[in-house]
Structure 1
Amino acid sequence: MKAVVMVDYGTPEVLQEQGTAKPELKETEALVEMYVTTVNSGDHLILSGAFRNIIPLRFPHVLGIEIAGVVREVGEKVKHVKQGDRVIGLTAAGGDYADYAAVDERGLAVIPSMLSFEETAALPAVGLTAWQSLFQYGELQPGQRILIHAGAGAVGHIAVQLAKRHGAYVIATARGDNQEFVRQLGADEVIDYVTTDFAEAVSPVDIVLDMVRDGGETERKSYTVLKDGGKLLSLVSPSISKNPRIRGIEAQFVRPEPNSSDWSSLMRNVQDKKLKVHIERIFPFSAEGIAEAHRASAAGRKKGQLLIARNP
């Protein structure tokens, strides 16, 4: 089969196309033929070497943690999916930048017949992160005020929609050319983080969802806009929970876990047109296509999700 692998840590230029054997299945895994995958922030961190002490690799390594495709084989103990099922999947160890990936059945959910691979490919990690951030970690309640940083991004644009549908008052940060997009998602206030210091513009909020990698500046400022006893949820700072508690603010690092019930809820929202996964661009499944997708993602100006497809 064809796979796009990283042969070392570095920039997208270390990605190469190689022929390799199909993965061997464990008894609880399914072999999924990849139709669509994504560019995820976790892939950036692994590729750059930032996670080398957390996730040590053996090269060549196949990136890609979100997959949408068709089950072609199942292990002996697989019960919840069958051959021919259209599924979304989460492979935390990577492996999805390939024709086929082995996915534990706990990381799979069947796609409803009326939804496409493209509509659902971003839900396994990105959608799940937004959902669990708001409702599991944040315990968001109707009427609460929430600040969502990077509201136009992959996780942010889903979180804005979900929070608004839940009855929250939603404030989001976005650069000027993305502001109208975020307003259309339902944000009550949108702050241009390029021209405005959000710490001076935001009235106190109950929850902050932070996904900005800027050396901790956004994290530090986020404390100043939280109410006493509020919640600071981080997607970028694994050690945040060790911070000294300030004014009763609860700081948590969000670690999304596969959950078929949450995925079903997300897909039901998409099916009922209550949630729209915005696709900025689809790149071809090739070394250059994936490298270009990573460069586009790193540029940080995208709206929603970037996809990689075998037949774009």
Structure 2
Amino acid sequence: MKAIALTRYGKPETLEELEMPIPALTDTQALVEMRASSINPADSLMRSGAILQGPMAEKYQVQLPIVLGFDVAGVVKQVGAKVRHFKPGDRVMGIVPMGSYKDYVAVEEDHLAVIPESLSFEEAGAAPAVALTAWQALFEHGNLQPGQRILIQAGAGGVGHAAVQLAKQHGAYVIATARDDNHDFVKGLGADEVIDYTKADFAAQIAKPVDIVLDTAMNPSTFGTAGLGPIGEKNYSVIKDAGTYVSVVAFASQFPQVRDIEAHFFEAQPNRADFEAIVRHMRENKLNIHVEEVYSFSAQGLYQAYRKSEGQSKRGKIVISRGSTSVADTRGKVDG
């Protein structure tokens, strides 16, 4: 089968098309024919080699060549002996620890959910990592309640744009940060206020303390230090006493203990129940994953996708697809 593999760290052009064997299944896995995947920040950090010098390096002890990619959307072709919730022919989306940029992917049963015919593979391929992270950040770690005020950093990004929608659907008052050219997009997602962090001190623009900050904005100056940095410190300053700070980008093992603020970094934990809840929200148009652009499942397509993903002013997700390369038919219903 075809796989797009990282053969050396550095530029996107280090990705190459290779032939690899179709993965063997364990009893608890399903073999999924990949139709679409996407790019997440961790993919870019691994591709460049930056993650190997950072606080997450111990987790990613890998040898080249490696296949990147976490998100999977496709069709089940085979199931292991103990798989009970899926059968060949099911349309599914899910997540793998690493290695979705290939024709066939072995996925744990508990890391998958069936998707309806109304959901394109491209939108489903964009959703798993960002939607799961947003879901667990808000409802498991943030314990978001209706009527609470929440600041979501990087509201136009992958996790951020999903979180804005979910928080608003849950009845929260949503403040988000975004570049000026993304303000209409983020307001269209449901944000009550949008602050241009490039032109103003976001902390000074927030008139009333928030209950929760969800930080999804990767800061290159602090990545690898396991520290909060200036953005993290400002996040603390806008949280009310006994509020909550949830970070998916500050890899600190310990956070400052001030004003009884509960603060922590977390990584999303895949499970079928959460994925099914996310699919239900997507089916009911309560969550629309914005697909900014679609590129072909090829080495050249991935070069272009990474270049686009690592540029400025991103919205939603960049998708890799084995089908159409036209973005017009695969955008989410919420568009900027």
Give, in whole Å, the separation in 2 of the partners of 1:126 and 1:213.
14
Within the alignment, does 1:67 sit opposite 2:72 as a pair? yes
What is the identity, as a one-letter code, of the residue corresponding to 1:227? K
Question: In structure 2, the residue corresponding to 1:45 is in which secondary structure?
Answer: helix
Corresponding position of 2:225: none
What is the CA-CA distance between 1:50 and the residue it aligns to? 2.6
Trace 1:9-28 onto structure 2 (pairs within 5 A): 9-28=9-28
Code of the aligned partner of 2:99? G
Moved more, 22-31 or 115-124: 115-124
5 Å-filtered alignment, 1:96-111, equals 96-111=100-115
Q: Provide the identity percentage.
A: 52
Shift in Å at residue 112 of structure 1? 2.1
Tell me the CA shift for residue 49 of structure 1. Answer: 1.8
| Greater mean alpha carbon deviation, residues 296-305 or residues 193-202 | 296-305
User: 250, 266, 272: which is aligned to 1:237?
Assistant: 250
Structure 1 vs Structure 2 CA RMSD: 1.2
Match 1:250 to one of 259, 262, 265 = 262
Please tell me the residue identity of whatever aligns with 1:47.
Answer: R
Shift of 1:41: 1.0
Aligned equivalents of 2:256, 2:315: Cα separation in 1: 35
Show CA shifts across 1:120-155 (max 9, x none). Answer: 222221100011100000000011000001000111
Partner of 2:232: 219
| Structure 1 gaps, min length 5 | none
Structure 1 residue 220: Cα displacement: 1.5
Q: Distance in 2 between matches of 1:48 and 1:224?
A: 33
Alpha-carbon offset, residue 116 of structure 1: 2.0
Answer yes or no: is the 8 Å Cα contact 1:87–1:109 preserved in 2: yes
Match of 1:124 in 2: 128
Measure the CA separation in 1 of the matches of 2:181 and 2:151.
Answer: 19
* Cα gap change, 1:244 to 1:160, in 2 (>3 Å): same
The two structures have a TM-score, normalised by structure 2, of 0.89
Q: What's 1:210 paired with? A: 215
SS in structure 1 of the partner of residue 4 of structure 2: strand
Residue in 2 that maps onto 1:139 = 143
Give the counterpart of 1:90 among 89, 95, 120.
95
Partner of 1:77: 82
Aligned residue pair count = 310
- Aligned mates of 1:81, 1:42 — CA distance in 2: 28
- Of 298, 302, 305, the match for 2:317: 305
After TM superposition, the structure 1 stretch with the greater mean CA deviation from structure 2, 45-54 or 261-270, is 45-54
**Separation in 2 of the partners of 1:238 and 1:269?**
29
- Which deviations, in whole Å up to 9, do the C-alpha atoms of 1:233-264 show, x marking residues without a partner? 11112225x12311111111122111222211
The 3-state SS of whatever aligns with 1:178 is: helix
CA contact (8 A) 1:33 1:100 kept: yes
Shift of 1:119: 2.6
Q: Give, in whole Å, the separation in 2 of the partners of 1:104 and 1:276.
A: 25
1:274 correspondence with 2:278: no
Q: Distance in 2 between the 1:20 and 1:226 partners?
A: 49
Once the 2 structures are TM-superposed, how far is the Cα of residue 76 of structure 1 from its aligned partner?
1.8
Deviations 1:86-110 (A, max 9, x none): 1101101x11101111111111111
Could you say what secondary structure the match of 1:121 adopts? helix
Q: Which amino acid aligns with 2:197?
A: Y
In terms of mean alpha carbon deviation, does 246-255 or 45-54 score higher? 45-54
- Structure 2 residue corresponding to 1:161, chosen from 165, 184, 188: 165
